[in-house]
Amino acid sequence: MNRIYTLTIPPSVNHLYRRRGRMTFRTKQYIDWLTENTINIGATKPHTVYPCQVHLTIVGGKGWRSTRDLDNSLKACIDLMRTVGVLREDNTDHVNQITVSYVEPKKAKDAAHALLVIY
């Protein structure tokens, strides 16, 4: 069964973590994004068929710069699915294909968002 999740645009992978000395920690921007999208997703049932395939579609619009690397959005989305319990793990025993694509916005004023489909 396919599951589709609509997410706000995640922070770039370059803005997920910071280091201070020997410690690595999540940034406030990343924590805020995780919290917001955990609430958006709500209570979901775990995916049960493994290995699964993941497709992330970024829909452009406000909040997306065309010069941004497309692949920098993926890590946060997969980590979110692990955090909320949709995916058990993100290793190759559980996820054997990941596809990322970009779609132009229908209207320039539309807010950018991400669609994550787990097959």
In the structure, what pLDDT confidence band is assigned to residue 25 with cuts at 50, 70 and 90? very high
pLDDT(1) > 80: no
pLDDT (tens digit per residue) in 37-76: 999 898 889 999 999 999 999 999 999 998 999 999 999 9
* Residue scoring higher pLDDT (70 or 1): 70
CA proximity to 40, closest of 70, 92, 84, 78: 84
The share of the chain scoring above pLDDT 90, in percent, equals: 88
Model confidence pTM above 0.85: yes
